[in-house]
Structure 1
Amino acid sequence: LLGVAVPNIPLDSVPDGDSEKEAVEIRRGGPPPCEADGSRHHADIGERLGILDGKAAARLSGARFTVSRGPGARLERALADFFLDLHTGEHGYTEHSVPFLVNRDTMTGTGQLPKFAEDLFATQVGDRELFLIPTAEVPLTNLLAQQALDAREMPYAFTARTPCFRAEAGAYGRDTRGILRLHQFEKVELVRVCTLEDAPAQLELMLEHAEECLRRLELSYRIVQLPAGDLGFSARSTYDIEVWLPGSGSYREISSVSDCGTFQARRAGIRHRTADGRKEYAATLNGSALPIGRTVAALLEQGARPDGSVELPEALISYTGFRRILPDGTTE
Protein backbone atom coordinates (compact mmCIF):
# COMPACT_ATOMS: atom_id res chain seq x y z
CA LEU A 1 0.00 0.00 0.00
CA LEU A 2 2.81 2.41 0.81
CA GLY A 3 4.27 1.93 -2.67
CA VAL A 4 1.17 3.14 -4.53
CA ALA A 5 1.03 6.27 -2.37
CA VAL A 6 4.51 7.48 -3.36
CA PRO A 7 4.62 9.98 -6.28
CA ASN A 8 6.92 9.84 -9.29
CA ILE A 9 10.43 11.30 -9.02
CA PRO A 10 11.06 14.45 -11.11
CA LEU A 11 13.80 14.43 -13.72
CA ASP A 12 16.98 16.36 -12.92
CA SER A 13 16.16 18.71 -15.81
CA VAL A 14 12.94 19.88 -14.12
CA PRO A 15 13.18 23.38 -12.55
CA ASP A 16 13.26 23.72 -8.77
CA GLY A 17 10.28 25.23 -6.98
CA ASP A 18 7.06 24.19 -5.29
CA SER A 19 4.36 26.27 -7.00
CA GLU A 20 3.23 27.58 -10.37
CA LYS A 21 5.06 30.82 -9.59
CA GLU A 22 8.36 29.01 -10.24
CA ALA A 23 7.28 27.70 -13.66
CA VAL A 24 9.76 28.57 -16.40
CA GLU A 25 8.36 30.18 -19.55
CA ILE A 26 9.64 28.39 -22.67
CA ARG A 27 8.02 30.40 -25.46
CA ARG A 28 4.91 32.24 -26.61
CA GLY A 29 2.83 31.65 -29.69
CA GLY A 30 -0.14 32.86 -31.65
CA PRO A 31 -1.04 36.52 -32.27
CA PRO A 32 0.01 39.17 -29.75
CA PRO A 33 -2.32 39.03 -26.74
CA CYS A 34 -5.10 41.59 -26.73
CA GLU A 35 -5.39 43.96 -23.79
CA ALA A 36 -6.92 42.78 -20.54
CA ASP A 37 -10.57 43.80 -20.38
CA GLY A 38 -12.95 42.66 -17.67
CA SER A 39 -15.94 43.14 -19.97
CA ARG A 40 -14.64 40.28 -22.15
CA HIS A 41 -15.14 37.55 -19.52
CA HIS A 42 -16.49 34.46 -21.28
CA ALA A 43 -19.29 34.00 -18.76
CA ASP A 44 -20.71 37.44 -19.54
CA ILE A 45 -20.25 36.96 -23.30
CA GLY A 46 -21.86 33.52 -23.26
CA GLU A 47 -24.87 34.69 -21.25
CA ARG A 48 -25.32 37.80 -23.41
CA LEU A 49 -25.30 35.71 -26.60
CA GLY A 50 -27.59 33.11 -25.04
CA ILE A 51 -25.16 30.24 -25.68
CA LEU A 52 -24.10 29.49 -22.06
CA ASP A 53 -26.62 29.01 -19.27
CA GLY A 54 -25.17 28.43 -15.82
CA LYS A 55 -28.50 29.09 -14.08
CA ALA A 56 -30.24 26.26 -15.93
CA ALA A 57 -27.35 23.94 -15.08
CA ALA A 58 -27.57 24.92 -11.41
CA ARG A 59 -31.26 23.98 -11.37
CA LEU A 60 -30.45 20.63 -12.93
CA SER A 61 -27.30 19.68 -11.03
CA GLY A 62 -26.05 22.43 -8.72
CA ALA A 63 -22.86 24.44 -8.84
CA ARG A 64 -19.98 23.86 -11.31
CA PHE A 65 -22.05 22.65 -14.24
CA THR A 66 -23.12 24.44 -17.41
CA VAL A 67 -25.60 24.14 -20.26
CA SER A 68 -24.57 25.11 -23.80
CA ARG A 69 -27.21 26.12 -26.31
CA GLY A 70 -27.53 26.67 -30.06
CA PRO A 71 -24.27 28.00 -31.56
CA GLY A 72 -22.51 27.27 -28.27
CA ALA A 73 -23.34 23.58 -28.40
CA ARG A 74 -22.48 23.52 -32.10
CA LEU A 75 -19.12 25.13 -31.35
CA GLU A 76 -18.31 22.46 -28.77
CA ARG A 77 -19.12 19.67 -31.22
CA ALA A 78 -17.08 21.41 -33.93
CA LEU A 79 -14.03 21.70 -31.67
CA ALA A 80 -14.09 18.01 -30.75
CA ASP A 81 -14.35 16.99 -34.41
CA PHE A 82 -11.60 19.42 -35.40
CA PHE A 83 -9.21 18.13 -32.73
CA LEU A 84 -9.87 14.47 -33.53
CA ASP A 85 -9.50 15.01 -37.29
CA LEU A 86 -6.20 16.81 -36.73
CA HIS A 87 -4.76 14.18 -34.40
CA THR A 88 -5.90 11.15 -36.39
CA GLY A 89 -5.40 12.61 -39.87
CA GLU A 90 -2.10 14.45 -39.41
CA HIS A 91 -0.54 13.38 -36.11
CA GLY A 92 -0.94 9.63 -36.39
CA TYR A 93 -3.15 8.85 -33.37
CA THR A 94 -5.67 6.01 -33.38
CA GLU A 95 -9.08 7.15 -32.17
CA HIS A 96 -10.83 5.10 -29.50
CA SER A 97 -14.25 5.08 -27.90
CA VAL A 98 -13.73 3.98 -24.31
CA PRO A 99 -15.81 3.36 -21.16
CA PHE A 100 -16.51 6.34 -18.95
CA LEU A 101 -16.81 4.07 -15.90
CA VAL A 102 -13.75 2.06 -14.83
CA ASN A 103 -12.77 -0.17 -11.94
CA ARG A 104 -10.38 0.44 -9.04
CA ASP A 105 -7.46 -1.37 -10.70
CA THR A 106 -7.72 0.89 -13.75
CA MET A 107 -7.74 4.04 -11.61
CA THR A 108 -4.79 2.74 -9.60
CA GLY A 109 -2.82 1.91 -12.74
CA THR A 110 -2.54 5.56 -13.82
CA GLY A 111 -2.16 6.98 -10.32
CA GLN A 112 -5.61 8.42 -9.59
CA LEU A 113 -5.99 6.02 -6.68
CA PRO A 114 -5.33 6.11 -3.83
CA LYS A 115 -3.96 9.67 -3.95
CA PHE A 116 -6.99 11.42 -5.47
CA ALA A 117 -9.88 9.42 -4.03
CA GLU A 118 -11.63 12.58 -2.80
CA ASP A 119 -11.56 14.09 -6.29
CA LEU A 120 -13.33 11.16 -7.97
CA PHE A 121 -17.01 10.40 -8.47
CA ALA A 122 -17.71 6.79 -7.51
CA THR A 123 -20.72 4.54 -8.06
CA GLN A 124 -21.75 1.46 -6.11
CA VAL A 125 -24.34 -0.98 -7.47
CA GLY A 126 -24.58 -4.03 -5.26
CA ASP A 127 -21.04 -5.21 -4.70
CA ARG A 128 -19.76 -3.59 -7.92
CA GLU A 129 -17.67 -0.44 -7.54
CA LEU A 130 -16.93 1.80 -10.51
CA PHE A 131 -15.47 5.29 -10.94
CA LEU A 132 -16.35 8.01 -13.45
CA ILE A 133 -13.17 8.86 -15.36
CA PRO A 134 -11.47 12.22 -14.63
CA THR A 135 -9.71 12.05 -18.01
CA ALA A 136 -9.46 9.67 -20.98
CA GLU A 137 -5.82 9.12 -19.97
CA VAL A 138 -7.13 6.52 -17.53
CA PRO A 139 -8.83 4.08 -19.94
CA LEU A 140 -6.49 4.83 -22.86
CA THR A 141 -3.31 4.04 -20.94
CA ASN A 142 -4.85 0.96 -19.35
CA LEU A 143 -5.75 -0.48 -22.75
CA LEU A 144 -2.19 -1.87 -22.59
CA ALA A 145 -2.27 -2.96 -18.94
CA GLN A 146 -0.71 -6.34 -18.15
CA GLN A 147 0.60 -6.71 -21.70
CA ALA A 148 4.04 -7.43 -23.14
CA LEU A 149 4.41 -5.16 -26.17
CA ASP A 150 6.68 -5.43 -29.16
CA ALA A 151 9.14 -2.53 -29.10
CA ARG A 152 9.19 -2.54 -32.89
CA GLU A 153 5.55 -1.40 -32.88
CA MET A 154 6.24 1.54 -30.57
CA PRO A 155 5.28 4.24 -30.04
CA TYR A 156 1.60 3.57 -29.54
CA ALA A 157 -0.48 6.72 -30.03
CA PHE A 158 -4.09 6.83 -28.81
CA THR A 159 -6.72 9.57 -28.68
CA ALA A 160 -10.30 9.81 -27.45
CA ARG A 161 -13.00 12.36 -26.79
CA THR A 162 -14.70 11.74 -23.46
CA PRO A 163 -16.52 13.56 -20.71
CA CYS A 164 -14.36 14.10 -17.63
CA PHE A 165 -15.75 14.07 -14.09
CA ARG A 166 -13.94 15.78 -11.21
CA ALA A 167 -15.17 16.59 -7.72
CA GLU A 168 -12.69 19.50 -7.58
CA ALA A 169 -11.90 18.78 -3.93
CA GLY A 170 -9.99 21.71 -2.48
CA ALA A 171 -11.15 24.11 -5.21
CA TYR A 172 -13.79 25.86 -3.09
CA GLY A 173 -14.11 29.50 -4.13
CA ARG A 174 -11.82 29.20 -7.18
CA ASP A 175 -13.13 30.02 -10.68
CA THR A 176 -16.75 30.09 -9.59
CA ARG A 177 -17.77 32.11 -12.66
CA GLY A 178 -17.86 30.53 -16.08
CA ILE A 179 -16.65 27.21 -17.40
CA LEU A 180 -13.01 26.94 -16.35
CA ARG A 181 -13.51 24.58 -13.42
CA LEU A 182 -16.51 22.27 -13.74
CA HIS A 183 -17.50 18.91 -12.30
CA GLN A 184 -18.20 17.68 -15.85
CA PHE A 185 -16.48 18.76 -19.06
CA GLU A 186 -15.35 17.26 -22.36
CA LYS A 187 -11.78 16.83 -23.51
CA VAL A 188 -9.79 15.28 -26.33
CA GLU A 189 -6.88 13.39 -24.75
CA LEU A 190 -3.61 12.14 -26.23
CA VAL A 191 -1.66 9.14 -24.89
CA ARG A 192 1.66 7.80 -26.16
CA VAL A 193 3.47 4.64 -25.02
CA CYS A 194 7.11 4.11 -25.96
CA THR A 195 10.47 2.88 -24.71
CA LEU A 196 11.98 4.76 -21.80
CA GLU A 197 14.85 6.00 -23.97
CA ASP A 198 12.42 7.54 -26.44
CA ALA A 199 10.24 9.29 -23.85
CA PRO A 200 11.91 12.75 -23.94
CA ALA A 201 11.55 12.95 -27.73
CA GLN A 202 7.95 11.75 -27.52
CA LEU A 203 7.17 14.45 -24.95
CA GLU A 204 8.38 17.15 -27.32
CA LEU A 205 6.36 15.61 -30.14
CA MET A 206 3.18 15.50 -28.06
CA LEU A 207 3.73 19.11 -27.01
CA GLU A 208 3.97 20.05 -30.69
CA HIS A 209 0.67 18.25 -31.38
CA ALA A 210 -1.15 20.10 -28.60
CA GLU A 211 0.43 23.41 -29.59
CA GLU A 212 -0.69 22.97 -33.20
CA CYS A 213 -4.31 23.04 -32.05
CA LEU A 214 -3.81 26.53 -30.65
CA ARG A 215 -1.90 27.73 -33.70
CA ARG A 216 -4.72 26.73 -36.02
CA LEU A 217 -7.30 28.32 -33.74
CA GLU A 218 -5.25 31.55 -33.87
CA LEU A 219 -5.17 31.86 -30.08
CA SER A 220 -2.55 33.65 -28.00
CA TYR A 221 -0.74 31.29 -25.63
CA ARG A 222 2.50 30.49 -23.87
CA ILE A 223 4.31 27.31 -22.83
CA VAL A 224 5.82 26.86 -19.38
CA GLN A 225 7.75 24.01 -17.77
CA LEU A 226 6.43 23.17 -14.32
CA PRO A 227 8.77 23.08 -11.32
CA ALA A 228 9.30 19.86 -9.38
CA GLY A 229 6.93 20.76 -6.56
CA ASP A 230 4.05 21.52 -8.92
CA LEU A 231 4.16 18.29 -10.93
CA GLY A 232 1.22 15.92 -10.93
CA PHE A 233 1.43 12.73 -8.89
CA SER A 234 2.38 10.50 -11.86
CA ALA A 235 4.55 12.91 -13.88
CA ARG A 236 8.33 13.23 -13.92
CA SER A 237 8.24 16.22 -16.30
CA THR A 238 5.38 18.45 -17.49
CA TYR A 239 4.82 21.30 -19.89
CA ASP A 240 1.73 23.43 -19.40
CA ILE A 241 0.24 25.35 -22.31
CA GLU A 242 -1.49 28.45 -21.01
CA VAL A 243 -3.97 30.41 -23.11
CA TRP A 244 -4.45 34.16 -22.74
CA LEU A 245 -7.82 35.11 -21.23
CA PRO A 246 -8.28 38.90 -21.50
CA GLY A 247 -11.42 38.77 -19.36
CA SER A 248 -9.31 37.96 -16.31
CA GLY A 249 -6.07 39.44 -17.65
CA SER A 250 -4.10 36.25 -17.16
CA TYR A 251 -2.71 33.15 -18.82
CA ARG A 252 -4.56 30.03 -17.73
CA GLU A 253 -3.73 26.36 -18.26
CA ILE A 254 -5.43 24.79 -21.27
CA SER A 255 -3.22 21.72 -21.63
CA SER A 256 -0.74 19.75 -19.55
CA VAL A 257 1.62 17.45 -21.45
CA SER A 258 3.43 15.00 -19.18
CA ASP A 259 6.15 12.35 -19.32
CA CYS A 260 5.42 9.73 -16.66
CA GLY A 261 8.48 7.58 -17.38
CA THR A 262 7.84 3.99 -16.25
CA PHE A 263 5.77 5.10 -13.23
CA GLN A 264 2.34 4.20 -14.62
CA ALA A 265 3.65 1.17 -16.52
CA ARG A 266 4.95 -0.36 -13.28
CA ARG A 267 1.57 0.12 -11.63
CA ALA A 268 -0.37 -1.16 -14.64
CA GLY A 269 2.04 -3.89 -15.75
CA ILE A 270 2.85 -2.46 -19.18
CA ARG A 271 6.07 -4.02 -20.51
CA HIS A 272 7.79 -4.40 -23.84
CA ARG A 273 10.17 -6.98 -25.22
CA THR A 274 13.62 -5.80 -26.22
CA ALA A 275 15.51 -7.04 -29.28
CA ASP A 276 17.29 -9.66 -27.15
CA GLY A 277 14.03 -10.91 -25.65
CA ARG A 278 14.16 -9.18 -22.26
CA LYS A 279 11.06 -7.54 -20.78
CA GLU A 280 11.29 -3.91 -19.68
CA TYR A 281 8.70 -1.47 -18.44
CA ALA A 282 7.37 0.95 -21.06
CA ALA A 283 7.15 4.73 -20.69
CA THR A 284 3.77 6.48 -20.82
CA LEU A 285 2.95 10.05 -21.76
CA ASN A 286 -0.32 11.97 -21.84
CA GLY A 287 -1.65 15.39 -22.73
CA SER A 288 -4.82 17.37 -23.33
CA ALA A 289 -5.36 18.47 -26.92
CA LEU A 290 -7.61 20.10 -26.02
CA PRO A 291 -10.33 20.52 -23.37
CA ILE A 292 -13.51 21.74 -25.05
CA GLY A 293 -14.79 24.14 -22.39
CA ARG A 294 -11.57 26.06 -21.81
CA THR A 295 -11.08 26.35 -25.56
CA VAL A 296 -14.58 27.80 -25.91
CA ALA A 297 -13.78 30.29 -23.15
CA ALA A 298 -10.61 31.39 -24.97
CA LEU A 299 -12.39 31.70 -28.32
CA LEU A 300 -15.16 33.83 -26.79
CA GLU A 301 -12.76 36.15 -24.97
CA GLN A 302 -10.13 36.51 -27.70
CA GLY A 303 -12.72 36.56 -30.49
CA ALA A 304 -15.00 39.20 -28.94
CA ARG A 305 -15.52 42.23 -31.17
CA PRO A 306 -16.61 45.81 -30.25
CA ASP A 307 -20.07 45.31 -31.80
CA GLY A 308 -20.79 42.43 -29.38
CA SER A 309 -20.20 39.63 -31.88
CA VAL A 310 -17.64 36.83 -31.61
CA GLU A 311 -15.46 35.98 -34.60
CA LEU A 312 -14.22 32.41 -35.01
CA PRO A 313 -10.94 31.29 -36.64
CA GLU A 314 -10.84 30.15 -40.24
CA ALA A 315 -10.01 26.55 -39.25
CA LEU A 316 -13.42 26.07 -37.59
CA ILE A 317 -15.73 27.46 -40.25
CA SER A 318 -16.10 24.19 -42.15
CA TYR A 319 -16.98 22.48 -38.85
CA THR A 320 -19.40 25.06 -37.43
CA GLY A 321 -20.97 26.28 -40.66
CA PHE A 322 -20.59 29.90 -39.50
CA ARG A 323 -17.78 32.38 -38.94
CA ARG A 324 -19.44 34.74 -36.46
CA ILE A 325 -21.86 34.59 -33.56
CA LEU A 326 -23.84 37.83 -33.77
CA PRO A 327 -24.94 39.96 -30.78
CA ASP A 328 -28.48 38.56 -30.95
CA GLY A 329 -27.19 34.95 -30.77
CA THR A 330 -27.70 34.18 -34.45
CA THR A 331 -24.83 33.28 -36.76
CA GLU A 332 -23.44 34.20 -40.13
Structure 2
Amino acid sequence: MSAGGNNRTLWIALAANLGIAVSKFVAAAFTGSSAMLTEGVHSLVDSANQLLLLWGRKASRRVADKSHPFGYGRELYFWSFVVAVMVFALGAVVSIYEGIAHISHPEAAVSPIIAYIVLFIAFLLEGGSTFSAFKEFREAKGQLGWFEAVKRSKDPPTFIVLLENGAAMFGIIIAAVGLAVSQLTGDPRFDGAASIIIGAILGFTAWVLAVESKQLLIGESAGRETIDGLRSIAVGRPGITGVGEVLTVHSSPDQITAMMSVDFDDGISAREVEQIVAAIEEEARREWPLVRRLYVRPQQGAGAAGGSQVLTI
Protein backbone atom coordinates (compact mmCIF):
# COMPACT_ATOMS: atom_id res chain seq x y z
CA MET A 1 0.00 0.00 0.00
CA SER A 2 1.33 3.44 -0.91
CA ALA A 3 2.57 5.78 1.79
CA GLY A 4 0.16 8.61 1.05
CA GLY A 5 0.95 11.95 2.67
CA ASN A 6 -1.48 14.28 0.83
CA ASN A 7 -2.99 16.92 3.14
CA ARG A 8 -5.76 17.92 0.70
CA THR A 9 -8.30 15.52 2.21
CA LEU A 10 -7.50 16.72 5.73
CA TRP A 11 -8.09 20.37 4.78
CA ILE A 12 -11.35 19.50 3.06
CA ALA A 13 -12.51 17.55 6.11
CA LEU A 14 -11.50 20.40 8.46
CA ALA A 15 -13.42 23.03 6.50
CA ALA A 16 -16.50 20.81 6.25
CA ASN A 17 -16.51 19.87 9.94
CA LEU A 18 -16.09 23.46 11.16
CA GLY A 19 -19.07 24.58 9.09
CA ILE A 20 -21.13 21.58 10.16
CA ALA A 21 -20.28 22.05 13.86
CA VAL A 22 -21.42 25.68 13.87
CA SER A 23 -24.68 24.86 12.12
CA LYS A 24 -25.44 21.93 14.44
CA PHE A 25 -24.84 23.96 17.61
CA VAL A 26 -27.11 26.73 16.31
CA ALA A 27 -29.78 24.16 15.48
CA ALA A 28 -29.41 22.51 18.90
CA ALA A 29 -29.91 25.88 20.59
CA PHE A 30 -33.16 26.44 18.67
CA THR A 31 -34.56 22.91 18.83
CA GLY A 32 -33.29 21.57 22.15
CA SER A 33 -32.38 18.30 20.43
CA SER A 34 -29.98 16.12 22.42
CA ALA A 35 -28.89 14.20 19.31
CA MET A 36 -28.25 17.49 17.49
CA LEU A 37 -26.08 18.75 20.35
CA THR A 38 -24.23 15.43 20.32
CA GLU A 39 -23.65 15.74 16.59
CA GLY A 40 -22.29 19.27 17.13
CA VAL A 41 -19.79 17.95 19.68
CA HIS A 42 -18.90 15.15 17.25
CA SER A 43 -18.16 17.61 14.42
CA LEU A 44 -16.15 19.85 16.75
CA VAL A 45 -14.04 16.89 17.89
CA ASP A 46 -13.50 15.89 14.25
CA SER A 47 -12.30 19.42 13.47
CA ALA A 48 -9.77 19.28 16.31
CA ASN A 49 -8.67 15.85 15.09
CA GLN A 50 -7.93 17.15 11.61
CA LEU A 51 -5.79 19.93 13.09
CA LEU A 52 -3.85 17.37 15.16
CA LEU A 53 -3.26 15.16 12.12
CA LEU A 54 -2.08 18.14 10.06
CA TRP A 55 0.32 19.07 12.85
CA GLY A 56 1.45 15.46 13.17
CA ARG A 57 2.33 15.26 9.49
CA LYS A 58 4.24 18.54 9.64
CA ALA A 59 6.13 17.55 12.80
CA SER A 60 6.96 14.09 11.43
CA ARG A 61 8.81 15.60 8.48
CA ARG A 62 11.45 17.34 10.60
CA VAL A 63 14.95 16.27 9.67
CA ALA A 64 16.91 13.91 11.88
CA ASP A 65 19.19 15.42 14.50
CA LYS A 66 21.49 14.25 17.29
CA SER A 67 18.67 13.56 19.74
CA HIS A 68 16.53 11.80 17.11
CA PRO A 69 18.95 10.22 14.63
CA PHE A 70 16.13 8.25 12.94
CA GLY A 71 14.00 11.35 12.49
CA TYR A 72 10.61 12.36 13.89
CA GLY A 73 8.42 10.16 11.70
CA ARG A 74 6.69 8.39 14.57
CA GLU A 75 5.32 11.71 15.84
CA LEU A 76 2.55 11.23 13.27
CA TYR A 77 1.68 7.93 14.93
CA PHE A 78 1.62 9.58 18.36
CA TRP A 79 -0.84 12.26 17.27
CA SER A 80 -2.95 9.63 15.51
CA PHE A 81 -3.25 7.79 18.82
CA VAL A 82 -4.20 11.06 20.54
CA VAL A 83 -6.94 11.49 17.93
CA ALA A 84 -8.31 8.04 18.81
CA VAL A 85 -8.38 8.99 22.50
CA MET A 86 -10.18 12.25 21.70
CA VAL A 87 -12.80 10.47 19.60
CA PHE A 88 -13.52 8.26 22.61
CA ALA A 89 -13.26 10.80 25.45
CA LEU A 90 -14.82 13.86 23.77
CA GLY A 91 -17.00 12.08 21.26
CA ALA A 92 -18.27 8.75 22.55
CA VAL A 93 -18.36 9.51 26.28
CA VAL A 94 -19.97 12.95 25.89
CA SER A 95 -22.52 11.56 23.44
CA ILE A 96 -23.54 8.71 25.75
CA TYR A 97 -23.67 11.04 28.77
CA GLU A 98 -25.86 13.54 26.91
CA GLY A 99 -28.15 10.76 25.75
CA ILE A 100 -28.60 9.35 29.26
CA ALA A 101 -29.26 12.86 30.62
CA HIS A 102 -31.89 13.49 27.94
CA ILE A 103 -33.62 10.18 28.69
CA SER A 104 -33.60 10.93 32.44
CA HIS A 105 -34.94 14.46 31.92
CA PRO A 106 -36.72 14.47 28.54
CA GLU A 107 -37.53 17.76 26.85
CA ALA A 108 -39.54 18.04 23.65
CA ALA A 109 -37.68 19.48 20.67
CA VAL A 110 -38.68 22.95 19.44
CA SER A 111 -38.71 23.91 15.72
CA PRO A 112 -37.51 20.51 14.52
CA ILE A 113 -37.71 21.66 10.89
CA ILE A 114 -34.50 23.62 11.56
CA ALA A 115 -32.81 20.43 12.73
CA TYR A 116 -33.81 18.58 9.57
CA ILE A 117 -32.48 21.35 7.34
CA VAL A 118 -29.16 21.44 9.21
CA LEU A 119 -28.85 17.65 9.13
CA PHE A 120 -29.49 17.60 5.39
CA ILE A 121 -26.86 20.28 4.75
CA ALA A 122 -24.44 18.47 7.10
CA PHE A 123 -25.03 15.22 5.26
CA LEU A 124 -24.18 16.85 1.92
CA LEU A 125 -21.01 18.51 3.28
CA GLU A 126 -19.94 15.36 5.10
CA GLY A 127 -20.66 13.35 1.97
CA GLY A 128 -18.34 15.54 -0.10
CA SER A 129 -15.57 15.21 2.48
CA THR A 130 -16.13 11.45 2.73
CA PHE A 131 -15.96 11.05 -1.05
CA SER A 132 -12.60 12.84 -1.11
CA ALA A 133 -11.27 10.59 1.69
CA PHE A 134 -12.74 7.50 -0.03
CA LYS A 135 -11.06 8.39 -3.33
CA GLU A 136 -7.65 8.97 -1.71
CA PHE A 137 -7.80 5.74 0.29
CA ARG A 138 -9.00 3.71 -2.71
CA GLU A 139 -6.02 4.93 -4.73
CA ALA A 140 -3.63 4.17 -1.87
CA LYS A 141 -4.93 0.66 -1.13
CA GLY A 142 -4.41 -0.69 -4.65
CA GLN A 143 -5.64 -4.29 -4.97
CA LEU A 144 -6.04 -4.85 -1.22
CA GLY A 145 -9.44 -5.30 0.38
CA TRP A 146 -10.73 -2.41 2.49
CA PHE A 147 -10.29 -4.09 5.88
CA GLU A 148 -6.87 -5.46 4.94
CA ALA A 149 -5.84 -2.04 3.64
CA VAL A 150 -6.66 -0.39 6.98
CA LYS A 151 -4.64 -3.05 8.82
CA ARG A 152 -1.63 -2.69 6.50
CA SER A 153 -1.71 1.09 6.07
CA LYS A 154 1.29 2.94 7.50
CA ASP A 155 -0.29 6.39 7.02
CA PRO A 156 -3.01 6.79 9.70
CA PRO A 157 -4.61 10.03 8.41
CA THR A 158 -5.72 8.27 5.21
CA PHE A 159 -7.94 5.84 7.10
CA ILE A 160 -8.70 8.01 10.15
CA VAL A 161 -10.49 10.66 8.06
CA LEU A 162 -12.39 7.96 6.15
CA LEU A 163 -13.53 6.16 9.32
CA GLU A 164 -14.38 9.41 11.10
CA ASN A 165 -16.43 10.67 8.18
CA GLY A 166 -18.18 7.35 7.81
CA ALA A 167 -19.12 7.43 11.50
CA ALA A 168 -20.27 11.04 11.10
CA MET A 169 -22.60 10.17 8.22
CA PHE A 170 -24.11 7.29 10.21
CA GLY A 171 -24.48 9.69 13.14
CA ILE A 172 -26.36 12.23 11.03
CA ILE A 173 -28.79 9.56 9.83
CA ILE A 174 -29.34 8.27 13.38
CA ALA A 175 -29.86 11.81 14.71
CA ALA A 176 -32.52 12.43 12.03
CA VAL A 177 -34.25 9.12 12.77
CA GLY A 178 -34.20 9.80 16.53
CA LEU A 179 -35.71 13.25 16.05
CA ALA A 180 -38.37 11.89 13.68
CA VAL A 181 -39.40 9.05 16.01
CA SER A 182 -39.57 11.51 18.90
CA GLN A 183 -41.96 13.66 16.89
CA LEU A 184 -44.12 10.75 15.73
CA THR A 185 -44.44 9.19 19.19
CA GLY A 186 -44.37 12.38 21.22
CA ASP A 187 -41.65 10.80 23.36
CA PRO A 188 -38.41 12.87 23.39
CA ARG A 189 -36.52 9.98 24.98
CA PHE A 190 -35.99 8.52 21.52
CA ASP A 191 -33.82 11.55 20.78
CA GLY A 192 -31.68 10.68 23.78
CA ALA A 193 -31.51 7.05 22.66
CA ALA A 194 -30.18 8.26 19.29
CA SER A 195 -27.46 10.09 21.18
CA ILE A 196 -26.42 6.90 22.94
CA ILE A 197 -26.30 4.98 19.64
CA ILE A 198 -24.14 7.72 18.11
CA GLY A 199 -21.83 7.44 21.14
CA ALA A 200 -21.57 3.66 20.66
CA ILE A 201 -20.60 4.14 17.00
CA LEU A 202 -17.94 6.68 18.00
CA GLY A 203 -16.67 4.33 20.70
CA PHE A 204 -16.22 1.50 18.20
CA THR A 205 -14.53 3.87 15.73
CA ALA A 206 -12.18 5.10 18.46
CA TRP A 207 -11.28 1.49 19.36
CA VAL A 208 -10.36 0.66 15.75
CA LEU A 209 -8.28 3.84 15.42
CA ALA A 210 -6.52 3.22 18.74
CA VAL A 211 -5.59 -0.38 17.87
CA GLU A 212 -4.17 0.53 14.45
CA SER A 213 -2.34 3.64 15.71
CA LYS A 214 -0.85 1.71 18.64
CA GLN A 215 0.60 -0.93 16.33
CA LEU A 216 2.39 1.75 14.32
CA LEU A 217 3.49 3.70 17.39
CA ILE A 218 5.25 0.73 19.01
CA GLY A 219 6.88 -0.25 15.70
CA GLU A 220 5.28 -2.16 12.84
CA SER A 221 7.17 -4.06 10.17
CA ALA A 222 7.15 -3.38 6.46
CA GLY A 223 4.92 -5.52 4.26
CA ARG A 224 5.87 -9.07 3.29
CA GLU A 225 6.57 -7.97 -0.29
CA THR A 226 9.23 -5.51 0.89
CA ILE A 227 10.81 -8.04 3.27
CA ASP A 228 10.95 -10.76 0.65
CA GLY A 229 12.33 -8.27 -1.87
CA LEU A 230 15.16 -7.21 0.44
CA ARG A 231 15.98 -10.84 1.09
CA SER A 232 16.07 -11.67 -2.62
CA ILE A 233 18.62 -8.92 -3.22
CA ALA A 234 21.17 -10.77 -1.07
CA VAL A 235 20.23 -14.42 -1.62
CA GLY A 236 22.39 -16.07 -4.28
CA ARG A 237 24.72 -13.11 -4.69
CA PRO A 238 28.37 -14.16 -5.27
CA GLY A 239 30.31 -14.03 -2.01
CA ILE A 240 27.21 -14.68 0.16
CA THR A 241 26.56 -18.18 1.50
CA GLY A 242 23.43 -17.49 3.52
CA VAL A 243 20.91 -14.84 4.61
CA GLY A 244 19.37 -14.98 8.08
CA GLU A 245 17.11 -12.50 9.83
CA VAL A 246 15.56 -9.62 7.93
CA LEU A 247 14.26 -7.07 10.45
CA THR A 248 12.21 -4.07 9.34
CA VAL A 249 10.34 -1.26 11.08
CA HIS A 250 8.40 1.75 9.78
CA SER A 251 9.77 4.98 11.25
CA SER A 252 7.14 6.93 9.27
CA PRO A 253 4.75 6.18 6.39
CA ASP A 254 7.53 6.80 3.87
CA GLN A 255 10.57 5.63 5.81
CA ILE A 256 11.65 2.05 6.57
CA THR A 257 14.72 1.01 8.56
CA ALA A 258 15.94 -2.50 7.76
CA MET A 259 18.60 -4.85 9.17
CA MET A 260 19.85 -8.02 7.53
CA SER A 261 22.11 -10.81 8.83
CA VAL A 262 24.37 -12.21 6.10
CA ASP A 263 26.93 -15.02 6.08
CA PHE A 264 29.82 -14.08 3.77
CA ASP A 265 32.15 -16.56 2.10
CA ASP A 266 35.19 -16.96 4.36
CA GLY A 267 37.45 -16.91 1.31
CA ILE A 268 36.71 -13.33 0.21
CA SER A 269 38.56 -10.24 1.43
CA ALA A 270 37.23 -7.43 3.61
CA ARG A 271 37.29 -5.15 0.56
CA GLU A 272 35.08 -7.57 -1.34
CA VAL A 273 32.67 -7.69 1.60
CA GLU A 274 32.45 -3.89 1.50
CA GLN A 275 31.72 -3.96 -2.22
CA ILE A 276 28.99 -6.56 -1.78
CA VAL A 277 27.37 -4.54 1.01
CA ALA A 278 27.51 -1.38 -1.12
CA ALA A 279 25.91 -3.23 -4.04
CA ILE A 280 23.11 -4.55 -1.80
CA GLU A 281 22.43 -1.08 -0.41
CA GLU A 282 22.40 0.48 -3.89
CA GLU A 283 19.95 -2.07 -5.28
CA ALA A 284 17.73 -1.73 -2.19
CA ARG A 285 17.55 2.06 -2.64
CA ARG A 286 16.66 1.61 -6.30
CA GLU A 287 14.05 -1.12 -5.88
CA TRP A 288 12.60 -0.09 -2.51
CA PRO A 289 12.89 3.72 -2.12
CA LEU A 290 11.04 3.69 1.21
CA VAL A 291 13.99 1.80 2.74
CA ARG A 292 16.03 4.81 3.86
CA ARG A 293 18.48 2.83 5.99
CA LEU A 294 19.70 -0.73 5.46
CA TYR A 295 22.19 -2.27 7.85
CA VAL A 296 23.93 -5.46 6.71
CA ARG A 297 25.40 -7.44 9.63
CA PRO A 298 27.93 -10.24 8.99
CA GLN A 299 26.88 -13.35 10.88
CA GLN A 300 28.48 -16.76 10.59
CA GLY A 301 25.94 -19.47 9.82
CA ALA A 302 23.22 -17.02 8.76
CA GLY A 303 20.65 -18.85 6.67
CA ALA A 304 21.61 -22.28 8.05
CA ALA A 305 19.03 -24.67 9.49
CA GLY A 306 17.37 -23.00 12.46
CA GLY A 307 18.62 -19.53 11.48
CA SER A 308 16.90 -19.01 8.15
CA GLN A 309 13.61 -17.73 9.48
CA VAL A 310 12.72 -14.20 8.40
CA LEU A 311 11.75 -12.19 11.46
CA THR A 312 10.01 -8.81 11.50
CA ILE A 313 9.45 -6.16 14.11
TM-score relative to the length of structure 2 = 0.27
Higher strand share: 1
Higher helix share: 2
TM-score relative to the length of structure 1 = 0.26
Larger Rg: 2
